[in-house]
Structure 1
């Protein structure tokens, strides 16, 4: 398995675990809403119901975001190999290594650190379209692109 494939799998597991966690929370909240409806009446009931509704909306939005990330990850995997940085590329620089995919944070593989970053992140926007050997400045530090896979 290549480094890029390994990072893709790690990102996939990251997204799937978040989706499953949110689905469990939604299920628990649904059960709470049902039991609240059977046992309550009055203003206290309405306040509790409203708080649960807000939580439901928040979790639903998070679920939608993670499903979008899952779709973005599929796009990243299916991209043709390119010498120019684009979604799905593994970019090694003089300062850090990046997997342009989804914002999943720092990952380790074969004693190397990689940052899985979304295509709209500040560093990804700086890297997009650049090729091996090109320089860019990030956080006031000049960096060079060592490789693009």
Structure 2
């Protein structure tokens, strides 16, 4: 088994940063639009219909607030990983090469396409992230019926 092609962690970090910045911007825009819709809703409607409409708008505002807070938390998690040095043991900020794919333990950003290949950005709190933490080159584990062999940790 030859050496695994090394990917640029700085590039992966930037892709995750772009992903989370887009999520923050989308959530902020949706929240602003929901608030404007709520403020524009006139009281010309009477009774239950009006109350139902106001409640639905408030639920929309609350949902967008939660999305924004979640995205901001992910941004903080990602910031803490910037310039983390490589280690022999998989941890937050590690790039883990397995026989079933490459994983960047950072935030749940999904599949990242790079010049070197596909990488899955996963949270350390995700089910597979929890299995990867603390593993070393040569370790193996099973997830969703697949056997994973760790080829390298960077």
Asked if TM exceeds 0.5, the reply is yes
Matched with 2:30 is 25
- Are 2:86 and 1:58 aligned? no
- Distance in 2 between residues matched to 1:97 and 1:81, nearest whole Å: 15
- Distance in 2 between residues matched to 1:24 and 1:45, nearest whole Å: 24
Matched with 2:100 is 95
Give the root-mean-square deviation of aligned CA atoms: 1.5
Matched with 1:105 is 110
**How many aligned positions are there?**
148
Per-residue Cα deviation, 1:41-96 (whole angstroms, up to 9, x for no partner):
43322111110001111111111111111111112225343110000101111111
**Which structure features the higher share of helix residues?**
1
Measured after TM superposition, the shift of residue 40 of structure 1 is: 4.0
Unaligned runs of 5+ in 2: 1-6
- Distance in 2 between residues matched to 1:85 and 1:59, nearest whole Å: 34
Unaligned runs of 5+ in 1: none
- Distance in 2 between residues matched to 1:111 and 1:87, nearest whole Å: 21
- Distance in 2 between residues matched to 1:113 and 1:135, nearest whole Å: 21
- Distance in 2 between residues matched to 1:39 and 1:27, nearest whole Å: 23
